[in-house]
Amino acid sequence: MNKNRLEAFSDGVLAIIITIMVLEFKVPEGMDCNALRPLLPKFLSYVLSFIYIGIYWNNHHHMMHTVRRVNGAILWANLHLLFWLSLIPFATAWIGDNHFAPFPMMMYGVILLMNGVAYFILQGFILKQQGENSLLKKAIGSDYKGKSSPILYTIAVLFANYYPLVSGVIYILVALMWLVPDKRIERVFNEND
Boundaries of every domain in the chain: 4-192
**CA 143 to each of CA 52, 68, 71, 126, 149: distance values in angstroms, whole numbers, following the listed order:** 18, 22, 24, 15, 10
| Distance between CA atoms of residues 122 and 148, nearest Å | 17
What's the pLDDT score for residue 1?
Answer: 79
What's the pLDDT score for residue 75?
Answer: 97
**Do the Cβ atoms of 152 and 121 come closer than 8 Å?**
no
Q: Is 141 left (phi over 0), alpha (psi -120 to 50) or beta?
A: left
Among the residue ranges 85-94, 123-132, 169-178, the one predicted with the least confidence is 123-132
pLDDT tens for 132-176 read: 788 888 888 888 888 999 999 999 999 999 999 999 999 999 999
Strand partners, 69: 2
- Selected residue with higher pLDDT from 101 and 135: 101
User: Phi and psi dihedrals of 69, rounded to 5?
Assistant: -135, 155
Total-model pTM: 0.92
**pLDDT greater than 80 at residue 52:** yes
